[in-house]
């Protein structure tokens, strides 16, 4: 069973590159092992956000499609 998120960011409506930037800034303020949940939409959510997460060394635990191009990412802080 997955741990409950330590923090949640709702970035729906934000244009590229802001979802990746805001998520990255929040991840930097978290400690190793904490869980961040990010809800985002659009092309940036599909492509830019997962790339930014992996490049920063964090672990993408789960990606869910909620509805109409809205995605929820569950990320474990490195």
Q: pLDDT tens, 6-43? A: 999 999 999 888 999 999 999 999 999 999 999 999 87
For the question of whether the overall pTM of this predicted structure is more than 0.85, the answer is yes
pLDDT given at position 2: 64
CA gap 74, 78 in Å, rounded: 13
Classify domain 7-76 at the CATH topology level: Translation Initiation Factor IF3 (3.30.110)
* Exposure string for 30-55, b = 16+ CB within 10 A, e = fewer: beeeebbbbbbbbebbeebbbebbee
Q: Clarify whether 16 is annotated catalytic.
A: yes
Q: Which residue among 5, 16, 21, 63 is the active-site one?
A: 16
Question: Which three-class secondary structure state does DSSP give residue 30?
Answer: coil
pLDDT above 90 as % of the chain: 65
Higher pLDDT, 74 or 42: 74
């Amino acid at each position: 069973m997955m741990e409950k998120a330590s923090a949640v960011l709702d970035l729906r409506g934000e244009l590229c590159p802001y979802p990746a930037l805001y998520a990255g800034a929040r991840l930097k303020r978290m400690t190793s092992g904490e869980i961040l949940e990010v809800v985002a939409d659009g092309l940036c959510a599909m492509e830019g956000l997962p790339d930014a997460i992996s490049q920063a060394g964090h672990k993408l635990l789960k990606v869910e499609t909620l509805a109409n191009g809205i995605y929820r990412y569950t990320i474990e802080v490195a």
